[in-house]
Amino acid sequence: MSMGEEDDYYNSSDTYYDLPGEDYSVLVEDEPSALDSEAVRRLLVALYSLVCVLGLLGNGLVVVLAGCRLKRTVSTVWFLHLAAADLLLNAFLPLYAAYAALGFHWPFGTALCKLSSFLLTCNMYTSVLLLSAISGDRCVSVLLPVWVQNHRSPRRTHAACTAIWALAALLSVPSLVFRDTRQLSGGQVACFNNFSLLSPGPAVAAASSGWHVGVTVTRFLCGFLVPGLVIAGCYFIIICRLQRHRLSRNRKPFRIMAALVVAFFLCWCPYHILFLLELRPHTWPPAVFRLGLPLATALAITNSCLNPILYVFMGQDFKKFKVTLFSRLASALSEDTGHGSFPSNRSFTKVSSVNDKSPVSEKETAML
């Protein structure tokens, strides 16, 4: 494809359905119905607005509690970094809502196009790598409780989280490199992945395809499949160990982490599936990408507001444990791994004693 042909390709009358957080550059070759377009835009605007409000409030509260008010433990450090990753993405959601409200027109410039995509990708990598690290931490705590007591500390956990942030940022660099804007006919500006940016010349089509495949496969493996196998392996070992030695009869400590992991993979699974399907867009009906890509991206972004909700509803028995939301959240965040396999009693910090009359004095086991 020559440079002139490339310009004609990107400036055709076809319609882009590519949200700022997506890493697709699908060009839909048929115009959607007005009903589909309007319904999708309204749904996305409402969803992004709701996720933004819930995410800023929930993750902001978690950051304040875990970072400033609760006793610093290994678990609060993990939760602090998870919330910080989500909070950073939540702060940019008004751009997503505006993009959908404007009919997928991006008026914010190339820099914000790149940055918004980078933040979504970095949020994905940071979240799944942190969940993998937490799972490994729980597994080691069950297998080697004595070693954990001597070597596990909040300071070292902070160092591990910093390394995870650095790795996630490195894996997200393609979003900064390939994300681009281009003006279409009718005055609309598209924010999309332009894999030809590093491939000028006559071989642009083949080179672009190579970059596209490389970025897609890397993201699927590093951001979904491999961490999923690591998490599954860790919890399989934990369950086998606990059942074999009858170390814990209480299933409540499993609820928070199980809920976080399940929520992450349910929210991101459609995103990655469509990402892989997009490698061969002409094999599938255009409606798959026209409607599927925006909705899958919105579902992935929804994960950024779910964790604080899960802390509240999964940390304790919601029907029997009648305390304030603030105290419930503090309770979930203050659970620590300890030895992972032995019962332990811990008292609440000043923040978690908002409702001292509630029966919350004992934690049977560490959160796994």
CATH code, domain carrying 276: 1.20.1070.10
Give a yes or no: residue 305 inside a domain: yes
Task: Domain count for the chain, please give it.
Answer: 1
Q: Please tell me which residue, 353 or 127, carries the higher pLDDT value.
A: 127
Residue 185: give the domain boundaries: 3-353
pLDDT of residue 198: 73
pLDDT of residue 340: 40
User: What pTM was computed for the model?
Assistant: 0.78
- Among 340, 349, 346, 333, CA closest to 77: 333
Give a yes or no: residue 242 inside a domain: yes
- Among 111, 107, 116, 115, CA closest to 184: 107
Question: Is the pLDDT reported for residue 275 higher than 60?
Answer: yes
Question: How many Å apart are CA 93 and CA 300, to the nearest integer?
Answer: 12
Q: Is 70 helix (H, G, I), strand (E, B) or coil?
A: coil
Question: How many Å apart are CA 289 and CA 28, to the nearest integer?
Answer: 7
Give a yes or no: residue 237 inside a domain: yes
Question: How many Å apart are CA 4 and CA 219, to the nearest integer?
Answer: 31
pLDDT of residue 28: 37
pLDDT of residue 204: 63
Give a yes or no: residue 99 inside a domain: yes
Contact 176, 227 (CB under 8 A): no
Give a yes or no: residue 367 inside a domain: no
* Helices marked H in the chain: 3-10, 34-64, 74-90, 93-101, 110-143, 145-151, 154-171, 173-178, 204-220, 226-245, 252-277, 286-302, 306-314, 325-334
pLDDT of residue 300: 94
Question: How many Å apart are CA 271 and CA 263, to the nearest integer?
Answer: 13
Lowest mean pLDDT among 113-127, 149-163, 270-284, 341-355: 341-355
Question: Is the pLDDT reported for residue 276 higher than 50?
Answer: yes
Give a yes or no: residue 365 inside a domain: no
Pick the most confident of 167-176, 255-264, 291-300, 342-351: 167-176
Give a yes or no: residue 368 inside a domain: no
Look up residue 187 and give its DSSP letter.
S
Lowest mean pLDDT among 136-140, 212-216, 283-287, 330-334: 330-334
Question: Is the pLDDT reported for residue 305 higher than 60?
Answer: yes
| 32-51 tens-digit pLDDT | 444 457 888 899 999 999 99
| 84-105 tens-digit pLDDT | 999 999 999 999 999 999 988 8
What confidence tier does 353 reach under pLDDT thresholds 50, 70, 90?
A: very low
pLDDT of residue 315: 55
